[in-house]
Chains A and B, each alone.
Chain A
Amino acid sequence: MNEKVISCKALTKRFGDFTAVDAITFEVEKGEIFGFLGANGAGKTTAMRMLCGLSNPTSGEAKIAGFDIYKETEKIKKSIGYMSQKFSLYDDLTVQENITFFAGIYGLSDKAIKENSVALLKQLGMEDQADKRVSSLPLGWKQKLAFSTAIIHKPEIVFLDEPTGGVDPVTRRQFWDLIYEASGNGITIFVTTHYMDEAEYCNRVSIMVDGKVEALDTPTNLKKQFSVTTMDEVFYHLAREAKRGE
């Protein structure tokens, strides 16, 4: 299990004289759950946009699922899934319509869409809700559905931007069950979160401060490195040093 699905070297993004992402270097293995933490304004979103092929780096190199971040963004987009707290599904479409739409834009055949959505609804226990508008679902269900939809085309990597913000503790754990399962199926998970207990669920965690990756290791090793007992303290230790805001 050491196939690298994300590898970036000195990846940098500058806006004018502001360096949003400052030469970050790391690798993520296939099937790994990789926590991408940082204070507000540390450069997480910018870094994630580059990795998804949405914005061109100023310098440095990176390969996502084996594709070059400069030249093969179209191929990258086909092999990743994306879900964020802010936007995930269309509220005014039904559950089934959302699934069909997202599966459709990733070019799945009609037959595959049908099979996959049946399996997906069954896994989530939402068979009865298929024809309901997404707006009528509780937030937690929406987020679980959004995640399953984001991986319906079986991507190599799925990027999750604060997927569990505001979700109740039980649903949050159900959400993480989905993440574990996807990871077990070989899908790499790249996730940002503000919940420090969720950082513990990750295989490895990186913490960004002022555009740089200041720490990267397993949660256990990070706690050892900073001689503290919780990830909260690790984060606090690092982010306190941050000099810049959003």
Chain B
Amino acid sequence: MESVVVKNITKTYGKEKKAAVNDVSFSVNKGELFGLIGPDGAGKTSIFRILTTLLLADNGSASIDGLDVVKDFKSIRNTIGYMPGKFSLYQDLTVEENLNFFATLFETTIQENYDLIKDIYIQIEPFKTRRAGKLSGGMKQKLALCCALIHKPNVLFLDEPTTGVDPVSRKEFWEMLQKLKKQDITIIVSTPYMDEANLCDRIALIQDGKILSIDSPKNIIQNYPDVLFAVKAANMYELLKALAEYPNRLMSYAFGEFAHFSFKENPNKADLLQFLETKGIKNIEIKEAAVTIEDSFIKLLS
């Protein structure tokens, strides 16, 4: 069953009519964890605001559980949970006060839906009398998630919940989302971190207001058209420069401790090795690489 349906949404800003969202369509199934993956300025926040009834699109339509985002905005506001990108809670209220406030706002109580937030809330409960402003980034995030969940929404919108958060907290956050999914809540999450894409059921890769590809992370990786190699050498910068000069090169770029590389035609490891050696590169190691979402994204952008 489709929970969120987006059809040909376009949104422009300013006098120059710069398109932040350009003819975007996708749908999300009930209980699915759907990721909007793309850099800042790709249009993720605009899409979120249109779906959460905060912004009117110039063109196109969207619905949530059959409710139109323009006409039925009041009903939608009852059934969704939203965590905006820069959401910072009320810094001067305590953890408990924040949660209580949002519960009352959505006409419910902490007790009523405690089951839903229990796993997350338990982690911040020891600090419940602490002001939100004094919490660490990771804890703030957990509290924000609790606040967005407190009224048991059907659809949860999380706009860049992990931006600026250190890798440990990011990992914990995604573990929480996996648990929530089991509660049959549809979750739409956006992130600029490509490595988080694998944790979604399906993802949309988005850049400059356009969707580049929509599929499960597994399929996107499988559909990578080229054979990808990982090359390692003593000096990365020298290696990258040398790879760029190789005649039979399709793409080459740094990827962690390796450089990822693909051939224009007929992959030939031996020839590449020889070429690099003549360029004076030392300690060369070439092996086939496992494709990641980031590789797919780079490929789609080129």
Contact = CB atoms under 8 A, between A and B. Distances in A.
A and B touch in the complex (CB under 8 A): yes
The interface size bin for chain A is 35 or more
Contacts of B171: 236
A126 interface: no
Given A40-B166, A166-B163, A168-B301, A177 B240 contact: yes
A139 B99 CA distance: 35
A143 to B, nearest CB: 10
Contacts of A169: 39, 194, 294, 297-298, 301
B136 A41 contact: yes
A236 B39 contact: no
Contacts of A41: 136-137
A45 interface: no
Given A40-B166, A200-B257, A168 B38 contact: yes
B255 A197 contact: yes
A39 B40 contact: no
Interface residues of B, number: 36
Contact of A244 (B136, B207, B236): B136
A38 B166 CA distance: 8
B237 interface: yes
Interface string A169-200: 11101001100110110000000001111001
Nearest to B237: A180
Contact of A194 (B39, B41, B164, B254): B164
Nearest to B127: A245
Nearest to B40: A166
A223 to B, nearest CB: 8
Interface string A229-241: 0111001100110
Contacts of B139: 245
Contacts of A60: none
A197 B139 CA distance: 25
Contacts of A194: 164-167
Contact of B39 (A139, A180, A235, A242): A139
Interface in A142-179: 162, 165-171, 173, 176-177
B135 A246 contact: yes
Interface in A96-134: none
B243 to A, nearest CB: 12
A140 interface: yes
Contacts of A231: 256
B166 A167 contact: no
Contacts of A40: 136-138, 164-166, 169
B168 interface: yes
A138 interface: yes
B267 interface: no
Contacts of B166: 38-40, 194, 235, 239
Given A39-B169, A194-B165, A194-B167, 10 more contacts: A162-B164, A171-B39, A180-B236, A196-B256, A219-B257, A231-B256, A232-B195, A236-B168, A246-B135, A246-B137
22 contacts: A39-B166, A40-B136, A40-B138, A40-B164, A40-B169, A139-B40, A165-B40, A165-B192, A166-B192, A167-B40, A168-B42, A170-B302, A180-B236, A181-B237, A184-B237, A194-B164, A230-B256, A236-B171, A244-B136, A245-B135, A246-B135, A246-B137
Interface of B: 38-42, 135-139, 163-169, 171, 192-195, 207, 236-237, 240, 253-257, 294, 297-298, 301-302
Interface of A: 38-41, 138-140, 162, 165-171, 173, 176-177, 180-181, 183-184, 194-197, 200-201, 219-220, 230-232, 235-236, 239-240, 242, 244-246
- Nearest 9 pairs between A and B by C-beta? A245-B136, A166-B40, A168-B39, A180-B237, A40-B137, A39-B166, A200-B256, A197-B256, A200-B257
